[in-house]
Amino acid sequence: MAAENVELVRSFYQAFNREGQAGTLPFLHPDAVWDESALPARQPGVYRGHEGILELGRQNDELWTQIHADVEQLIDAGDGKVVALLWARGRGKFTGEPVELAIAHLWEIADGKGKRVKLYLDRTAALEAASGG
């Protein structure tokens, strides 16, 4: 199951990079929770269900262009968890300035779909959370 979970997460980011937020929905539970409460920019928050995740995409589209998630590493953390170490890249919509941010997502997967995804700005914290620390 671990390999399938890692492949699900990899496929999610590939779909995001091709199709944007709407392309990611097949990889997420209808009642998935996407937690970006640690993010200091934009409106940090917790987005629930497919509609909430689409709202997150709309908010990102208001601020950024050319958003891309480059996967650096996917780590099977066991117990249905995957840590994605990423580079979020894009351009400010109003400034045109490039933005690059090293982040991590901690995925909790159930029934072959993402059930909960939490953003971490501190990659070490994501790895510790995945191991229960």
Residues facing 90 on adjacent strands: 99
CB 29 within 8 A of CB 111: yes
Structure tokens at 47: 């987005």
Helical ranges in 20-113 per DSSP H: 49-63
For the chain, the domain total comes to: 1
CA atoms within 13 A on the CB side of 35: 16
Token pair 């990659």 is found at: 123
Helix (H, G, I), strand (E, B) or coil at 45: coil
Q: Identify the CATH number of the domain in which residue 100 sits.
A: 3.10.450.50
Report pLDDT for 38.
83
Report pLDDT for 40.
67
Domain span including residue 30 = 2-130
Prediction pTM value: 0.93
| pLDDT tens for the 133 residues of the chain, in order | 799 999 999 999 999 999 999 999 999 999 999 999 987 665 668 999 999 999 999 988 888 888 999 999 999 999 999 999 999 999 999 999 999 999 999 999 999 999 999 999 999 999 999 998 6
Element (H, E) at 16: helix 2-19
CB 107 within 8 A of CB 98: no
